Amino acid sequence: MRIAVVGSGYVGLVTGVCLADFGHDIVCVDKDAAKIEALSQGIIPIFEPGLSDLVSTNVAAGRLTFTTDLPTAVGQAEVVFIAVGTPSRRGDGHADLRYVYDVAREVAGALNGFTVVATKSTVPVGTGDEVDHILRAASPEADFTVVSNPEFLREGAAIDDFKRPDRIVIGIEDERAREVMTEVYRPLYLNQAPLQFTNRRTAELIKYSANAFLAMKITFINEVADLCEVAGANVQEVARGIGLDNRIGSKFLHAGPGYGGSCFPKDTQALVKIGQDFGSPMRLVETTVSINEQRKRAMSRKVIAACGGDVRGKTVGILGLTFKPNTDDMREAPSIDIIRGLQDRGARIVAYDPQGMKAAEKLVDGVKFAPNAYSAAEGADVVVLVTEWNEFRSLDLSRLKALMQTPVFVDLRNVYRPQEVRKHGFHYFSVGRPEAGGMGSVSEAAE
């Protein structure tokens, strides 16, 4: 099939590349000429495992091209995916839809023959109706239908998620779209990927509901972790105990410094606003947003407590900056609030991340960036593991301790076994495991 993907950011690029790998003829469109030129030369603007190789393979095979020429790409397409960003609107938390609507206006004048216009961007309930209205107002004679086809991609595992999806949600208002969208995803039938056809508004709400529910699971286990610390329980065992219940499941029950990234923060805020707009408040989601914001800052206080209550003039080595491993995405990363909280109390920050330092330089001031984990720990009074990159899972603890000024290790991802770190002479602090030297051992850590 001939498919145009408008927007060559994270979602658009992964969508286009994977569809090309299925055998479709894909044109990725973007207004940013420099980005298009770079992509045409095989230079990928984001870090996503396996993406660069897929781009090279499909460009070489002639199935994938990049252009700034939207009218030509859309005019030749049977399906047009809108995959531009919908960030939180500054000041009120609503999803900013101007990019989606701008694309709709441009697409309208280029439609040629029956075309399915599929919204891949995460958009509030009713956005598809407005896109339909824009297209019909701008091009009354055009033959098209608008569908909602939200993405469910995890950064760091996006290619596998696209090719082996849990579900493919497609919201339609015109039965002609069913056949077309079924053909788009036909290569996945061998994997028995479940296609769920709904109406358009339902599809739009499925995306927000899924992200909000996962954000609530993260926030729930983080609150349980706090209770574990003061009650003498182990949050990892609690999570395992409840996760073995098939009705609950074990995923997203890992205590840590709070959620971040490009999706959960903006989508939970947007769902709160959607509920308010429809007069149906989303109280659980509102509370989730509030708790998560507080938690990020609370992690800096946890580090300060581990250092005896004072970090003024002390050096803190930060391991991991991105909101999760296997991405270079720094959007809403907990590390940002942790670093700022420590700097506010007079700490010096040295940080290392395998992929996120370039983006971090634009978001945090006064941070020294190190070439590796051991350089970040050199002369440090405390090392804080913030993002669970694989290379941080098997650190040489003896070497780490020898480099540090004071052997204090704060593990905000519970990567290590407490006894393993302690036997190397560290004062060890983790999340929701008081026996690991939690918030009750401040004076011991300060000795």
Residues 136-190 have pLDDT tens digits of 999 999 999 999 999 999 999 999 999 999 999 999 999 999 999 999 999 987 7
- Please check the confidence at residue 436 and state whether its pLDDT lies above 50: no
Q: What is the pLDDT of residue 439?
A: 36
- Range with the lowest mean pLDDT among 52-66, 257-271, 426-440? 426-440
Catalytic residues: 263
CA nearest 323: which of 95, 110, 156? 156
Give CA–CA dist 305/83, Å, rounded. Answer: 44
Pick the CATH number of 199-447 from 3.40.50.720, 3.30.70.1350, 3.40.50.11810, 3.40.50.1370: 3.40.50.720
Give CA–CA dist 307/240, Å, rounded. Answer: 30
Q: What is the pLDDT of residue 202?
A: 98
Domain limits, the chain: 2-198, 199-447
Amino acid at 124: P
Query: Computed from CA positions of residues 330, 331, 332, 336, in that sequence, does the dihedral angle turn out positive or negative?
Result: positive
CA nearest 7: which of 128, 151, 130? 151
pLDDT tens digit sequence for 205-237: 999 999 999 999 999 999 999 999 999 999 999
CA nearest 320: which of 271, 258, 385? 385
- Please check the confidence at residue 446 and state whether its pLDDT lies above 50: no
- Please check the confidence at residue 314 and state whether its pLDDT lies above 80: yes
Q: What is the mean pLDDT of residues 59-88?
A: 97
Residue with tokens 């840590």: 256
Q: What is the mean pLDDT of residues 110-115?
A: 97
Cα 302 to its chain centre, rounded Å, is 25
Q: What is the pLDDT of residue 137?
A: 97
Q: Would you place residue 434 in the very low, low, confident or very high pLDDT band (cuts 50, 70, 90)?
A: confident
Q: Which CATH class is domain 2-198?
A: alpha beta
Q: Would you place residue 447 in the very low, low, confident or very high pLDDT band (cuts 50, 70, 90)?
A: very low
Query: pTM of the predicted model, to two decimals?
Result: 0.91
Q: What is the pLDDT of residue 90?
A: 82
- Please check the confidence at residue 85 and state whether its pLDDT lies above 70: yes
Q: What is the mean pLDDT of residues 348-369?
A: 97
Q: What is the mean pLDDT of residues 256-278?
A: 96
- Please check the confidence at residue 16 and state whether its pLDDT lies above 50: yes
Q: What is the mean pLDDT of residues 387-404?
A: 97
What residues form DSSP beta bridges with 170?
197
- Please check the confidence at residue 442 and state whether its pLDDT lies above 70: no
- Please check the confidence at residue 437 and state whether its pLDDT lies above 90: no
pLDDT tens digit sequence for 42-59: 999 999 999 999 999 999
- Please check the confidence at residue 440 and state whether its pLDDT lies above 80: no
Q: Would you place residue 93 in the very low, low, confident or very high pLDDT band (cuts 50, 70, 90)?
A: confident
> Is-same-fold flag (2-198; 199-447)?
yes
Q: What is the pLDDT of residue 438?
A: 39
Mean pLDDT of the residues in the chain: 94
Burial class of residue 129 (count of CB atoms within 10 Å of its CB; 0-12, 13-18, 19+): middle
Q: Would you place residue 441 in the very low, low, confident or very high pLDDT band (cuts 50, 70, 90)?
A: very low
Q: Would you place residue 194 in the very low, low, confident or very high pLDDT band (cuts 50, 70, 90)?
A: confident
